[in-house]
Amino acid sequence: KNEVEQSPQNLTAQEGEFITINCSYSVGISALHWLQQHPGGGIVSLFMLSSGKKKHGRLIATINIQEKHSSLHITASHPRDSAVYICAVRDRAAGNKLTFGGGTRVLVKP
């Protein structure tokens, strides 16, 4: 079993729909990251959070430390949101190195 599991693996939405991506992890963490990888491969860090909730524009990230679960929400989705979204955790027992989920490929159709 992977230490970081994401669901779904693939997601297709119509423009304007609300999107949720889930991330579950099995290790003790010091922080969780949400990353966005565009088709060209470049990666952008969206959020780093260790508790509660963060919001940036139409993106919202939440984390429940007790349940070892995080969600990334995209409100009013747009075709430019099409990308792979990656969850990564900083493993406290592994020197705070990042362990990555397999990613969720999101396609938003106009």
* 31 interacts with another protein by CB under 8 A: yes
Residue type, 103: G
Question: Which of these segments, 20-28, 30-38, 62-70, 72-80, binds another protein (CB under 8 A)?
Answer: 30-38
Look up residue 72 and give its amino acid.
Answer: L
Write the secondary structure of the chain as one string of H (helix), E (strand) and C (coil).
CCCEEEECCEEEEECCCCEEEEEEECCCEEEEEEEEECCCCCEEEEEEECCEEEEECCEEEEEECCCCEEEEEECCCCHHHCEEEEEEEEEHHHCCEEEECCCEEEEEEC
Q: Which is nearer to another protein, 53 or 97 (CB)?
A: 97
Work out whether 90 is an interface residue with another protein (CB under 8 A). Answer: yes
Closest approach, Cβ 14 to another protein, in A, equals 26
Scan residues 43-82 and list those touching another protein (CB under 8 A). Answer: 43-45, 48
Q: Which of 21, 88, 89, 106 binds another protein (CB under 8 A)?
A: 88
> Where do contacts with another protein occur on this chain (CB under 8 A)?
30-31, 33, 35, 41-45, 48, 86, 88, 90, 96-98, 100-103
